Structure 1
């Protein structure tokens, strides 16, 4: 199966059920780049629903805090966010969504690559 959205090819996807107070660690490889992401959920009254921040990033591991991602109707990033670039210079993007079901989060994370080095142009006659 191949999934492409706006010239971005899906390279990794996960859907998890996460107990309320637990964090998530995701590890995968994007064209030779080993990516480790840690997602932490917390509540902050002074921030809007769906607020997030990249807390640390050392090119091999990133920590992302998700604030107020506890809506029963769901919260999601409104657009793709660039995570970084592979050694080839191809951008890697992420998107994620979270739904709160009782005391459990359904967390979905999707990662895409825009392979600029592998673009194929179609010749017109």
Structure 2
């Protein structure tokens, strides 16, 4: 009975630790995306809302601009060789947004440098 409690406690601590690490990683990636959107696209934090989801390719942030409430822009945050990068992912189901071309243009320039 005592061994079972120990294993349950260890399991619970591992789950709590994994959740905490996930939250810290997501917060770091969210800050990185905020800086990217500010520097490359002049978008302040108040001009959009975002939420994150985990996919098979990594963390994806769904960004909705205040002036385009019906369009969601998707950005992956990727780590390569210890460096974080933002990759814009066009959502075909959503249609074209006003900033689509701008996001794609910056995206292609970033992808070009990633794979050299």
| Global fold match (TM > 0.5) | no
**Which structure exhibits the higher relative contact order, with contacts defined as CA atoms closer than 8 Å and separated by 6 or more residues?**
1
What TM-score, normalized to structure 2?
0.30
Specify which structure has the higher proportion of strand: 1
Structure number with bigger Rg: 2
Tell me which protein shows more helix as a share of its residues.
Answer: 2
